[in-house]
Structure 1
Amino acid sequence: MELNIVMASGVVFPYGLATTKRRRYMVDYMNVQGVECHVLVLRHQVKSQNPLKGMYGDCDYIDISYLLNEGKIFQYYHQGKIFLKKWFNSDKKNVVVCDTKVEFWDYPIIRYAYSLGYKIVYDQVETDYNTKGTNNSIKTKIHFLLTGKVSRRAYKWSDGSFVISEALKEQNLKAYPPQKMCILPNSTPILEKTKKQFFSNPPTILYSGTFAKKDGVEYLLKAFLLVQKKGYSCRLIMTGKGQPSDMKVLELVKDNPDVQYKGMVSDRELVETLLNCDILTMTRENSKFSNYGFPFKLSESLATGNPVIATNVSDVGKYVKHMESVYLVQPECVEEIANGIIYYLENPQNALQIGQNGLNVMKKHFSIEGVGKKFIDFLVNI
């Protein structure tokens, strides 16, 4: 039976950060395969650069979050129900794919979709948002506590879940034994344009992403300073941002002329930066939050063909091998991160080959085609 898929969550679309890209690449696959799909953007708490409605390929999308932000609660629910009813196709299997957490203000909309006959599936990419590895305010912790209760209630009557890691799968199987599960990694397009032949002079290291405690930026900065202290010439570029309290970590390198912080950049500039830098990094710490999720930046970094330094958290070690497809380090270990940087600096040709091997790993495990097929096959069979 053919599918009709509605992605309904508080994730901006089509352009944004990691979770948006995860959604967009799924839609890319569906557009190519001719699968009917729609995106309903529910309330989100990030600034979106996207129009409130439009087309992304053959997929139409509508953002109704502004209604709730303006206090127009009844209009918010009314519009959500209108589009769910409009998009329902009685000749196809109808599926709503929701985000990890279910906000209490969105629960009635998802429940309405269920009453119409949609299958309800969750795409879980994190565990408890208040767990170790987060740095939330008291207000945010209370909010996530309530959201967690709503989400657990919603999972119980859902038809299945995508999960991003083995740990999340085990957590769900214990809590909801009958539920169907599918481990679905992140996907990414191939970003490499031409095979790199040599490093820049001086070589450039890149960190790109958020600056939350889970990201382990502190360990990377200390490792970079240690490498410089040992007499190696290199530069560090950083993109992205975090909460004001998280950004204090940059004080470690505030007077360092070899460190450049660019802030948030566009998708296009990010890809250019990923390709132009020589050594890419993913240095998540050893926390429950890190080990139940999976770093989007790893698959994206591998897609460039550049050498990557990665911490061995979550399922990372199941996809990549030390000194073969990445330089794999233990989390929260400044010395190991520094050793990885030094190895790449001293062995640039070996580093470039490791980068190419990493690109092959990306093609095997994280391609849009491979992950997209897994996504569709699971939904067909629920």
Structure 2
Amino acid sequence: MNSQKRKKKYDIIVVTRESFPIGMAGTNRIISYLKPLYEKNLSVKVYITKPHKEINILSKETKGIFEGIHFEYTNNTTVWPSKGKKLKKLQIVVSSYFNIIKKLYADKPAIIITYTNDFFSISLLLLFRIFLKYRLIIEETEYPKILTKSVTKSKTIQKIHFYIYRKVNGLLVITKELETYYRSIGVKNIFVLPMTVDFSRFQSLEIVNKENFFTYVGGTGGFIRDGVLDIIKAFNKFIETNPNYKLLIVGPIDENIDITKEIYQFVQQNSLSQIVIFTGPKKSIEIPAFLIKARGIVMAPPKNFDSGGFPTKLGEFLASGTPTICTKVSDISEYLNASNSFLVNAGDVEGICNAMNDIVSDPEKSQRVGMEGKVLASIIFNAKTYLPDFIKFINE
């Protein structure tokens, strides 16, 4: 890290609202690049600035160290009071902002990376950069949220957001498409760090015999984006000739949203309740076993990603070595082909079903494709591949 007049306690702090150290794709993304930085003898820490709804609680410790990464919930709780009074919720939000600054004065970071869509906290960090002399990097895995909200009718609000993007020390993005967009609004210092995987999560597992199930990992948050209803419809066709298989949907479930109700209705109408299994939330350390034991992994986004992003979970699917079925949307075809995955057209339920049949009918080919996917992920989706340039970027 660059020398500073004031002694720095931490080289890098990530500010996020993701659950930590146990969570879903966002959590794994943060871990995937902080661990290699820690292994390079850099001190790293994560601030989690908002507790989580009861349905999404995966982490229960409010502070600690996870594989060298220090972490701390700024409100000293992991639970958001969903049924609490508005005043209580307001108190948590306000105290969170106050505690961020208080902790920054104590932790004295050289660099802050934000992984959050909370633009008020980013604005606050930009303001206090004047006094605390850290470098501020924003990570964006999609287009600005401001473009999808009603306040976008205010050109002034948009200009403020774009001004902040230009004033921070750099922008970390996940795709070339996002790099092109953010350069178009005047951001100059941009680094493309593709979707990254923490491969150590898979290395400690022994080779296991495959079991008769396909799986999707992601929970309610990805039900629409990842085409889970299409996956279930395809599986319903698949079991007509393969009745001994199950489909596991792994991740937290919100039963009150429309897509979940629609999926549950389809499952019940087609008598799939004992065959399509909703496991509920699982700890991060449990996910690799689901992926490795599965006969195949499926995600089926029905259209290009409007966000300009990339499916962060796809890298983990490939890293497991299990053959992966995916639709050809956005940048996916730039990385995947028939040698390392089973690609189908978006919205093609019959194609997904056929891919499932291909996987179970030719185990040797499936194993070969799965291993090729793993090799691809170990290079393209490995933070260590980009580490020298990444360290240079955050220090420039």
Compute the TM-score of the two structures, normalised by the length of structure 1.
0.84
Match of 2:105 among 76, 85, 90: 85
Verify the 8 A CA contact 2:176 2:192 in the aligned structure 1: no
Determine which of 356, 365, 374 is the counterpart of 2:380. Answer: 365
Question: 1:79: how far off?
Answer: 2.3
Find the aligned partners of 2:121 and 2:136 in 1 and give their Cα distance.
Answer: 17
* Offset, 1:35: 0.7
Q: Distance in 2 between matches of 1:101 and 1:52?
A: 21
When the two chains are superposed, the root-mean-square deviation of aligned CA atoms in Å is 2.9
Alignment pair present for 1:121 and 2:137: yes
Q: Does 1:207 align with 2:193?
A: no
Matched, 1:262 2:279: yes
Task: Determine if contact 2:219/2:281 at 8 Å carries over to the other structure.
Answer: no
| Greater Cα offset, 304-313 or 363-372 | 363-372
In the aligned structure 1, how far is the partner of 2:296 from the partner of 2:153?
A: 38
Q: Which amino acid aligns with 1:37?
A: V
The answer for the alignment partner of 2:39 in structure 1 is: 32
User: How far apart in 2 are the matches of 1:111 and 1:44?
Assistant: 24
Does residue 99 (structure 1) correspond to residue 108 (structure 2)? The answer is: no
- Size of the aligned set, in residue pairs, is 363
Match of 1:138 in 2: none
Instruction: State the Cα deviation string for residues 195-239 of structure 1 (Å, max 9, x = none).
Output: 56x644xx3111111333111111111111122235665321111
Aligned mate of 2:179, from 138, 146, 169: 169
* Structure 1 gap segments, 5+ residues each: 133-140
Match of 2:390 among 368, 375, 379: 375
TM-superposed CA distance for 1:114, in Å, is 4.8
C-alpha displacement of 1:341:
0.8
Query: What amino acid sits opposite 1:112 in the alignment?
Result: F
Measured after TM superposition, the shift of residue 280 of structure 1 is 0.7
Name the structure 1 match of 2:6.
none
Aligned to 2:22: 15
Cross-structure match for 2:74: 64
CA distance in 2, matches of 1:199, 1:40: 38
Q: CA deviation at 1:13?
A: 2.1
- Is residue 219–residue 283 contact of structure 1 (8 Å, CA) maintained in 2? yes
Query: What CA distance in whole angstroms lies between the structure 1 residues aligned with 2:213 and 2:153?
Result: 41
Extract unaligned runs of 5+ from structure 2: 4-10, 78-87
**Aligned partner of residue 273 in structure 1, secondary structure:** helix
Residue 13 of structure 1 aligns to which amino acid in structure 2?
A: F
> How many percent identity over aligned positions?
20
Q: Cα distance 1:179–1:21, how it changes in 2: closer, same or farther (>3 A)?
A: same
CA 1:60–1:126 in structure 2 vs 1: closer, same or farther (change >3 Å)? same
Letter of the structure 2 residue corresponding to residue 222 of structure 1: K
How many Å separate the matches in 2 of 1:260 and 1:75?
A: 40
**Structure 1 residues 378 and 242, CA gap change in structure 2 (3 angstroms):** farther
**Aligned equivalent of 2:7:** none
Q: Offset at 1:289?
A: 3.3
* Structure 2: distance between partners of 1:230 and 1:151: 54
Maintained 8 Å contact 2:13/2:112: yes
Q: Secondary structure at the match of 1:71?
A: helix
Cα deviation, residue 307, structure 1: 0.7
Partner of 2:267: 253
Q: Which range is displaced more, 235-244 or 216-225?
A: 235-244
Alignment of 1:1-382 (within 5 A): 1-2=1-2, 4-46=11-53, 47=57, 49-65=59-75, 69=89, 71=91, 75-88=95-108, 94-104=110-120, 107-129=123-145, 149=158, 151-190=161-200, 191=202, 193-195=205-207, 199-200=210-211, 203-211=212-220, 212-230=223-241, 233-243=244-254, 244-245=256-257, 246-248=259-261, 249-254=263-268, 255-256=271-272, 257-289=274-306, 292-322=308-338, 324-380=339-395, 382=396
Q: How many Å separate the matches in 2 of 1:174 and 1:27? A: 29
- Distance (Å, rounded) in 2 between the aligned partners of 1:114 and 1:24: 28
d(CA) in 1 for partners of 2:331 and 2:50?
31
CA contact (8 A) 2:327 2:343 kept: yes
Could you tell me whether the CA contact under 8 Å between 2:214 and 2:247 is conserved in 1?
Answer: yes
Instruction: Describe the SS at the equivalent of 1:225.
Output: helix
1:38 CA displacement = 2.2
